[in-house]
Amino acid sequence: MPSMNTTFPLLGDLTAQEQQGFLRTLVQTRHEPEEILFREGDPGDYMLLILEGNLRLSRLAPSAEEVRLADLGPGDVVGEMAVLSPAPRSATATCLSETTVAWLSRDNLLERLVLEDRAAGILLRLSTEQVSNRLAAVRTRIELLRKALSGESSTESDAELEELIRAEAGPIAENLRKWLESR
């Protein structure tokens, strides 16, 4: 049995007991290290809630090299965007250790929303909030890059962009570095 102490930020202010009640209603599966849960390009219409263990999200760079995007653990969620808007997976999820996940498909979420399941409602609200925050962050980054590329940058925007380049992992940082290397 996975630890029932895991709590999920995406389940908001539900008590630990309410969260566990919700998680018990989902299908749970256990996986071995190195097992792949889904691959980049696979159709995606479900999310996984990590109850135990660790997953790595990675994708293939144009050079065919595997690029690590993130390592996730208990309490993290993978694929929430696919539940809101099904699309091919943008990354591959591989177990780093023995891992237990709970599955929530789009159809299951919709059924729960019709039945006014509180946990499903909270999950939806916080997921869309997260998407909205991500969108705002990407737009800020685009604006910073545009300003820098057009020579309109200020000391303030320069500092924000430096921070972005430092914080950015994986292919984006790699691309930005290429600009430097190709001088």
Partner 1 sequence: MSTPRGIGRVDTLVGCPLLTALPLRVLQALAPRFEATELDTGDLLFEIGGRSASLFIVEKGDLELEGPGKSVGRVSRGGVLCEEDVLRPGIHKTRARATSPSLVLSMDEQTLNNLWAIEPASAAFLQLAIGSRLITELRRANTQFVSLCEMPIDEVENTGMRRILKVSSDSDLESG
Report the residue number, 32 or 111, with the smaller CB distance to partner 1. Answer: 111
Report the residue number, 75 or 171, with the smaller CB distance to partner 1. Answer: 171
Interface residues with partner 1 (CB under 8 A) are 81, 84-85, 87, 110, 113-116, 118, 120-121, 124-125, 127-129, 131-136, 138-139, 141-142, 145-153, 158, 161-162, 165-166, 171-172, 175-180, 182-183
Kindly state the smallest distance separating residue 107's Cβ from partner 1, in Å: 13
Report the residue number, 27 or 87, with the smaller CB distance to partner 1. Answer: 87
Report the residue number, 1 or 115, with the smaller CB distance to partner 1. Answer: 115
Kindly state the smallest distance separating residue 84's Cβ from partner 1, in Å: 4
Helix/strand/coil (H/E/C) assignment for every residue in the chain:
CCCCCCCCHHHCCCCHHHHHHHHHCCEEEEECCCCEEECCCCEECEEEEEEECCEEEEEECCCCCEEEEEEECCCCEECHHHHHCCEECCCEEEECCCEEEEEEEHHHHHHHHHCCCHHHHHHHHHHHHHHHHHHHHHHHHHHHHHHHHCCCCCHHHHHHHHHHHHHCCCHHHHHHHHHHHCC
Kindly state the smallest distance separating residue 12's Cβ from partner 1, in Å: 12
Kindly state the smallest distance separating residue 35's Cβ from partner 1, in Å: 27
